[in-house]
Amino acid sequence: MPRPSSVKDYIRTIVDFPHEGIMFRDVTTLFADPRGFRMAIDQMLHPYAGQPIDKVVGLEARGFILGGAIAHQLTVGFVPIRKKGKLPGTTISEEYKLEYGEAIVEIHDDAIQPGERILVVDDLLATGGTAEAGIKLIERLGGEIVGCAFIVDLPELGGRKRLEEMDMDVHVLCEFDGL
């Protein structure tokens, strides 16, 4: 079997997960391979090389894995945006719509200082709802978003367009057609 040559080659597709008709893009196979994982982190960082970044924000949950590695490479702090009820301190929250209901994400109210430059990361950009909620939280704390980096974009779901309409710089490593 030939060695994968792009980040996309490391990503496994699982048919009908978590529901029939869904093509789940599983990045755990990418994370498990040291060459693939390094390639993804390096490529996510590349457009932001040389830009001042104060913190990396990772969206729950796979964004924590990516965000921690990217923050380490940049020698900056890491901030998680979590599902409601998972952070122990005082938080602010943002509600957003999912295709099957609503959800709430939270951030510590002291995690970002006004004027700090933030890079937002996650594994997958679908409808953009979680990312938009995270962006709103960061902006409420006074953070300035440098960009949003994702491994996978599902263009048919419109997340990239949604974030770009918010004047966000969006960087993705690969795209997959279908849901």
Annotated active-site residue in 12, 35, 38, 62 = 62
Determine which one of 3, 20, 99, 102 is catalytic.
Answer: 99
Q: Is the pTM of this model over 0.85?
A: yes
Q: Which fold has domain 51-175?
A: Rossmann fold (3.40.50)
Beta carbons within 8 Å of 3's beta carbon, 6+ residues apart: 35
Q: Is 62 a catalytic residue?
A: yes
Summarize pLDDT for 62-90 with one digit per residue, the tens.
999 999 999 999 999 999 999 999 999 99
- Strand ranges (E), the chain: 12-15, 23-26, 55-59, 77-83, 91-98, 101-108, 117-125, 144-153, 170-175
Q: Is the pLDDT of residue 178 over 80?
A: no
pLDDT of residue 2: 67
Query: Ramachandran region of residue 148, left (φ > 0), alpha (ψ -120 to 50) or beta?
Result: beta
Length of the chain: 179
Across the range 56-62, mean pLDDT stands at: 97
Per-residue pLDDT band at 179 (split at 50, 70, 90): low
**What is the arithmetic mean of pLDDT over 37-45?**
98
CA distances from 98 to 3, 119, 127, 128 (A): 37, 23, 8, 10
Q: Among this protein's residues, is 82 annotated catalytic?
A: no
Residue 169's pLDDT band, with cuts at 50, 70 and 90, is very high
Residue extents of the structural domains in the chain: 51-175
In this prediction, residues 155-177 reach a mean pLDDT of: 97
Confidence bin at 33 (pLDDT 50/70/90):
very high
The Cα–Cα gap between 165 and 179 comes to 22
Closest CA to 108 of 142, 135, 79: 79
The per-residue pLDDT for 4 is: 79
Lowest mean pLDDT among 19-23, 50-54, 113-117, 172-176: 19-23
